[in-house]
Amino acid sequence: MAQLIASSKLTVVVGLGATGLSVARFLAARGERFIVVDSRDQPPGLGTLRAEQPQVVLQLGNLDTATITAADRVLVSPGVALDHPALVQARALGVPLSGDIQLFADVAAAPLVAITGSNGKSTVTTLVGDMMARAGRNAGVGGNLGTPRWTCWPSTAIAMCWSYPASSWISWTISAPRSPLSST
């Protein structure tokens, strides 16, 4: 059953690829108010989002500075350039910018392991997930392995451990990691 947390706060999800779509699904299930923006006219997740969540407001074709700076928080997908003028201005105005890793860390009750580095993240992440599973933990492995974090989010998570690769260039989106960050 979805946890509903109706709020008047506005979240802007920037990017509608695999990560943006999975974040939109999660926010919708929680009853949060959000808008999805993408610089592309036809982002990969467009058809799926329209079919699953036709009520979601979409702004496509550019990243509108007014929309992004009016948000209470902005969740930026990993493929979006961080130096986009709308994001730079939002950050300068104090709008919290983060990504799906921070969102995940904020709501996951289970231990998290984020693996960073220039090489070997997927291999180490898979290894850590296997080690947790062999230790008898209910382990979830996702992220940049082709499965967005929110796609593998369980409806109920008891004794769940999560392991995911985290590209070092998006580490700015983690404001207060509660998971150990390991370099490979």
pLDDT tens string 17-54: 988 998 999 999 889 999 999 999 999 999 999 999 99
Where among 98, 127, 145 does a domain terminate?
A: 98
Residues 143 and 85 in one domain: no
Residue 157's contacts (CB-CB under 8 Å, 6 or more residues apart) are: 108, 109, 110, 138, 140
Q: In which domain, by residue range, is 91 found?
A: 10-98
CB atoms within 10 A of CB 166: 27
Residue ending a domain, among 30, 64, 98, is: 98
Amino acid 101: pLDDT: 76
Find the angle CA(27)-CA(78)-CA(181) to the nearest 5 degrees.
Answer: 95
Is 3 contained in some domain? no
- Beta strand segments in 8-88, E: 10-14, 33-38, 57-60, 73-76
Is 15 found in the same domain as 75?
A: yes
Contact 20, 38 (CB under 8 A): yes
Same domain for 86 and 39: yes
H-helix or E-strand spanning residue 141:
strand 138-141
Assess whether 120 and 178 both reside in one domain. Answer: yes
pLDDT of residue 165: 47
Cα(71)–Cα(130) distance, integer angstroms: 39
Rounded-to-integer distance, Cα 34 and Cα 25, Å: 11
Do 132 and 159 fall into the same domain? Answer: yes
- Establish if 15 belongs to a structural domain: yes
Do 54 and 108 share a domain, yes or no?
no
- pTM (2 decimals)? 0.77
Distance CA 2, CA 178 (A): 24
Residue 90: pLDDT over 90: yes
Number of domains in the chain: 2
Residue 119 class from Cβ within 10 Å (0-12 exposed, 13-18 middle, 19+ buried)?
Answer: exposed
Asked if residue 16 is part of any domain, the answer here is yes
Using pLDDT thresholds of 50, 70 and 90, give the confidence band for residue 120.
confident
Please report whether residue 127 resides in a domain: yes
